[in-house]
Structure 1
Amino acid sequence: MTLEDLQDDVEDQYAEFGEELAVSLDGETRNELAMLSVALDPEDPDELVHRAVHMLFQSMVDRGQLDFHLRSGYDATYDEYLSGMTFDEMTGGNQFPQQQGDPDDRRYQF
């Protein structure tokens, strides 16, 4: 898959989510959400879920896990997604493609 595939999939998923997302809670998650709600006293428990998504996202970006998953599935990184171009396109690396063949052949050419 490519950077374009990643962009299309993110746009499709964004549209699919819509404005609200119904999430079922298991007992452990419900207990932790209740504890956080009591401790932090947000205006709306949804705010805690928003924060949790932001924290997970930032954590994955900081530790390189998001890039690992994106590179595995789409051969792209989050920075490439944000810029809309691959690293090779940014640096001009695709302007001078390497010849196929044995790279050691060149050392004997004068």
Structure 2
Amino acid sequence: MSLDRLTADVRDAYGDIGDDVTVELDRETRNELAMLSAVFDAPNEGELIRRAVHALYRSTVDTGNLDFHLRRAYDVTYDEYLYGELEDTYEEAGGHPGLDRDDERRYQQ
């Protein structure tokens, strides 16, 4: 596996998810969601679920668990993935954003 394969898999998964996700809740999850909804006075359950995904993602990154799985499945780290995405963004923008080509020549003799 590689960075290119990871990038393709992430893009495929993103497209498959769409804008709306339907999740079946078991009794325990429904109870926990109800408790969080009451405590945080969330406007809707969707907001709490978005927060939960962010919290799980952050926790997985912070503990190194994401890197462990990425290394095992794709032989890359999260930092390598982010760097690859950053490079793609620069290439699509035609080089370093905000870099003035005339300014670049100023430093050449």
TM-score (norm 2): 0.76
Letter paired with 2:32? E
**2:49 and 2:33 mapped to 1: Cα distance?**
8
Q: What 5-or-longer segments of structure 1 have no aligned partner?
A: 86-110
Deviations 1:32-67 (A, max 9, x none): 000000111111110000000000000010010000
Task: Spell out structure 1 runs of 4+ moving beyond 3 A.
Answer: none
- Return the offset for 1:20: 0.6
Letter paired with 1:25? L
How many residue pairs match? The answer is 85
Letter paired with 2:26? D
Q: What 5-or-longer segments of structure 2 have no aligned partner?
A: 86-109
Matched residue, 2:41: 41
Q: Does 1:55 align with 2:29?
A: no
Output the aligned Cα RMSD: 1.0
TM-score (norm 1): 0.75
**2:33 and 2:16 mapped to 1: Cα distance?**
25
Percent of aligned pairs sharing the same letter: 56
